[in-house]
Amino acid sequence: MKKNMKKLLFSVEGMRNVYWDESPCTIGCEVSIPHKFDGDQPLCIISHGSGGLGNDTEHFVSALNDSGIATLCVDSFAGRNMTNINGNELGGYVSPRARAYETVEAYKFLKENYESLFANLDLDKVACVGFSWGADSIAQIIAYYNDVLPKETFYALCYGNLWPFEPEYYNAKDRDVTLYHGADDNWTSPERGKIFAKETHSEFVEFMGVTHGFTKPGYSREMAKQVIVNHHAEFPVPTDLKQVYSWIQKGKIWEDTEWKKVDAPLDYDQLATERVLSDIIAKLKS
C-alpha cells in the first residue's frame, strides 16, 4: 500500500441472483483514499467491464489516487461466483440496471457512514467512469437513479453499448456527460454512441484508429472471438426495453433482425486513456 493511503473494504447487502435462482448475494466494494489525513478529497466511482476488475480499473485507481482523487470500485462478480460475462452466450448475465442499483447503494453507504469512516471525502464532488458494460451501467444510473448522485457529477462513458436508446436516457440532458469511443470499435458502435450524445446534448470524443478496450493496459492486438452485438438493429429512437424483450422472447433481436456475432479487436491506447483520465481529474480538481 502506498504511504499515507487508506483502503476500506465493505459490502452491499440485499442483492439477488435474479437471472438464476433469486438467491441473495453480497457485492464487494473497495474505497481507496490517497491521503488518509487530508480532507475534502473528491471521489471517482469506477464501473468495470464484462471482464471484471482488471488492468483498466487498477490503472485508473492508481492514476486517480496519484492525483489526490479517492476511488470506489464495485465488484459485480465475486459475490455472484462469476469471473466474467461470456460474450458468446446470453446466460450468466447481470443487467446494467442491477449494477447501477448496487453502485448507488455503495455510494449511499459512503454517505450514511460519512462521519465514522469517510469524513475526509467530499461526497458532493463526484465523477463516474465506466468501461464498456460498465459504461452501460453508469448510463443506467443517469436513467433510473438520477437524484442519488450530486447533480454536478461528471459521467465518463467509455465505449459503452448504449443501444437501444432508452427514453430514460434523456435525463442525461441535465447532466455532465462525455462519451469516449474508438472509431474502429466493432463490438460497441461509435455511431450509436453519437446518437446518445446528439439526443442528450452530451460531449462525444472519438479516437481515430482506436478499438474496443482502449483503457486496458496489456491489450495488444487481442481478438474477442464471436461476441454478440446488437448495433446492427435499427431500433427507433427512443425504444422502450419492454418492446425489445418481447422480440427476444421470439428469438429475434428486433422485428426481422437476427442476432449477430463479430470478431472484435482489442487494443490498449495510451493517449486515449490519458485523455479520459485528464478530463476526470480536471472536472474533480476545478
pLDDT digit string (tens) for 190-244?
A: 999 999 999 999 999 999 999 999 999 989 989 999 999 999 999 999 999 999 9
User: pLDDT over 70 for what percent of the chain?
Assistant: 88
The pLDDT > 90 percentage for the chain reads 70
What is residue 12's predicted lDDT score, i.e. its pLDDT? 67
More confident residue, 90 or 252: 252
Tell me the average pLDDT across 141-161. 96
CB contact at 8 A, 119 and 76: no
Q: Grid coordinates representing 208?
A: 481515430
For 15-57, write each residue's pLDDT tens digit: 555 444 555 667 778 899 998 888 899 999 999 887 767 899 9
The average pLDDT across 102-123 equals 92
Q: Given a cut of 80, is residue 260 above it in pLDDT?
A: yes
Q: What is the pLDDT of residue 91?
A: 40
d(CA 86, CA 220): 20
